[in-house]
Structure 1
Amino acid sequence: MIFSTWPALLVVDVEGNGTNPPDLVEVAALPVRDGRPDKTTARAWLTRPERPVTSFATRVHGLSNDDLADQPAWSDIADQVHTFMGAAWICAHNAHTDYRVLSAHLPGWAPAGVLDTLRLAKATFPDLGKYSLDALIEYVKPDLGEAPAQRHRATFDAFATAQLLIAMASRYETWDQLVAAAVPPGLPGAPEPEKDPTLW
């Protein structure tokens, strides 16, 4: 894989307040350049949700209502997030979720494509059995020494996902092969299905 051929790509992760549909409490966006995560240009935002964070959500990501009380409302940072994301490709683990939540919070946002490390892992390691982020971290053993915060925070999970993406991408020869393995049908960037050949 020649990583310099990749288009602009952000590995993203979101954390919510535990409601359905969720309000965002944290968004991380980590560029991948030349086959490595670029922490120098990464961005992360904490935001005060409209509805209180549930106790279950706090147990997962560790962010409480007190932690977020002085953070800006989503309406105050949405333009910043939208501008930073631009039209770049995004990657996330179980990307349907992050793409759906971000799309609901960023009207008009249209990424060039969406890579899913969950889908990619199933194609790359078909006999693994478990494909959670924790299972992949245990199996691939990426270097997480520079990961910020801790597991289940958006910044940590984006960094871990980036390292997993890079490790798995090295098993593919081209960007197009990676896209074919990693973009779920129906999401931006998905290859067009081949048409059945006919005699006419």
Structure 2
Amino acid sequence: MNFSSWPPLLVVDVEGNGTNPPDLVEVAALPVRDGRPDTSTAGAWLTRPRRPVTPFAARVHGLTNARLENEPGWAAIADQVHTLLGTSWICAHHAHVDYRVLKAHMPQWEPAGVLDTLRLAKATYPGLSKYSLDALIEHVQPDLLASPAQRHRATYDAFATAQILIAMAAHYDTWDQLAAAAVPPGLPGSPEPEEEATLW
């Protein structure tokens, strides 16, 4: 894979407060340049949600209401997040979730395209029993020594997802082949309409 052929790309991860729809509590955006995660230009934000963090969500990511009470509200950081993401491609694990949450918080934002490492892993590693981020970390064995924070924090998960994306890219000759395997139907960058459930 010739990484110089890649368009601008940021691996993103978001953490929510556990409500439906969720309020954001953490966003990470990690550029991938020349086949490596570029932590020097990454962005990471904590934000106080409008509604309290549920006990279940707090147990998952460790971000409690007490931890977030002095963080800025979303309106105070939205422009920073939007500016960093710009119109670049984004990549995430189970990407439609991250895309839709970010889109709900930034209606004017639209990435050039969306890569999903879950979709890509199913094409790249057929036959795995699971395709969760933990299962892919175990299968790929990426070097996570330099990863910030810990599992289920946005910065860690974005770093791990970036390493897994780079490892899977070695299985494809061109960016177009990679994108064809990784972009979910109906999301930016896909020529296919979104899959819809029907009654028949």
TM over 0.5: yes
Any gaps of 5 or more consecutive residues in structure 1?
Answer: 194-200
Question: 2:184 touches 2:190 (CA, 8 Å); kept in 1?
Answer: yes
Q: Which TM-score applies when normalising by structure 2?
A: 0.95
Equivalent residue for 2:93?
93
Q: Equivalences for 1:65-104 in 2 at 5 Å?
A: 65-104=65-104
Question: 1:18 touches 1:53 (CA, 8 Å); kept in 2?
Answer: yes
Any gaps of 5 or more consecutive residues in structure 2?
Answer: 194-200
1:106 lines up with 2:106 in the alignment: yes
1:15 lines up with 2:35 in the alignment: no
Question: 2:114 touches 2:189 (CA, 8 Å); kept in 1?
Answer: yes
Superposed CA RMSD: 0.8
1:178 lines up with 2:178 in the alignment: yes
Task: Give the aligned residue type for 1:110.
Answer: E
Question: 1:15 touches 1:26 (CA, 8 Å); kept in 2?
Answer: yes
Distance in 2 (alpha carbons) for counterparts of 1:103 and 1:129: 31
Distance in 2 (alpha carbons) for counterparts of 1:27 and 1:60: 15
Equivalent residue for 2:53?
53
Give the direction of change, closer, same or farther, for the CA distance of 1:51–1:7 in structure 2 (3 Å limit). Answer: same
1:134 lines up with 2:134 in the alignment: yes
Distance in 1 (alpha carbons) for counterparts of 2:2 and 2:162: 16
Distance in 2 (alpha carbons) for counterparts of 1:155 and 1:81: 14
Question: 2:23 touches 2:49 (CA, 8 Å); kept in 1?
Answer: yes
Question: 2:118 touches 2:131 (CA, 8 Å); kept in 1?
Answer: yes
- Shift of residue 107, structure 1, vs aligned partner: 1.3
- Shift of residue 129, structure 1, vs aligned partner: 2.0
How big is each residue's C-alpha offset from its partner over 1:6-57, in whole Å with a ceiling of 9 and x where there is no partner? 0000000000000000000000000000000000000000000000001100
Question: 2:186 touches 2:192 (CA, 8 Å); kept in 1?
Answer: no
1:159 lines up with 2:170 in the alignment: no
SS in 1 for 2:67: helix
Equivalent residue for 1:198?
none
Distance in 1 (alpha carbons) for counterparts of 2:129 and 2:54: 31
- Shift of residue 192, structure 1, vs aligned partner: 5.1
Kindly tell me the number of residue pairs found equivalent between the two proteins: 193
Task: Give the aligned residue type for 1:157.
Answer: D
How big is each residue's C-alpha offset from its partner over 1:147-167, in whole Å with a ceiling of 9 and x where there is no partner? 000000000000000000000
- Shift of residue 191, structure 1, vs aligned partner: 3.4
Question: 2:11 touches 2:30 (CA, 8 Å); kept in 1?
Answer: yes
Task: Give the aligned residue type for 2:155.
Answer: T
Q: Which TM-score applies when normalising by structure 1?
A: 0.95
Task: Give the aligned residue type for 1:152.
Answer: H
Distance in 2 (alpha carbons) for counterparts of 1:44 and 1:20: 23
